[in-house]
Amino acid sequence: MVTKKTPARTPAPAAASRRSQPQLRFRMRITVGDVIAVGPGKIALLEAIAETGSITNAAKRLDMSYRRAWLLLDELNRSLRAPAVDSAKGGPHGGGSALTDAGLQLIALYRRIEQQAAQACQADIQRLMGLLAPR
């Protein structure tokens, strides 16, 4: 019996370079007491709902349970003056979820703050990255 040797998989060049290059990520959170009212996970969940139109599909996309997604949204909606997500009950064609104006505004503000913070700190970020050992 002859067996073929399969070549070992090597990471794609882009994936390999991403792993070896340091990347800065802002992880802004707004807390109210012990509750994280707004944070990167909740923003990612809102963005996934906007793309999929569904809490279920958004949760799957983010590799989280529906229950976890629902709890995050409930916590977020209770923290805001107006809810970020509007959901329709399921039926023969299923329910669905859509972002409200408050949800859309929340994402836009959060991402703009991240971008402006990165721009404002560019020189310090470059110095910080320069302290890292090459890989």
Strand 35-38 and strand 85-88: pairing? unpaired
- 39 token code pair: 């944070």
Give the tens place of pLDDT for each residue, 55-97: 999 999 999 999 999 999 999 999 999 999 998 766 666 678 9
Q: Contact at 8 Å (CB) between 54 and 42?
A: no
Which pLDDT does position 109 carry in this prediction? 97
Q: How confident is the model at residue 4 (pLDDT cuts 50, 70, 90)?
A: very low
User: What CA–CA distance (Å, rounded) separates 124 from 135?
Assistant: 21
Secondary structure of residue 110 in the 3-state scheme:
helix
Write out the two tokens for 21. 């290059």
Would you state the pLDDT for residue 18?
Answer: 54
Mean pLDDT for all residues in the chain:
86
Lowest pLDDT segment from 3-12, 16-25, 102-111: 3-12
pTM: 0.77
Q: Which domains are present in the chain?
A: 27-129 (1.10.10.10)
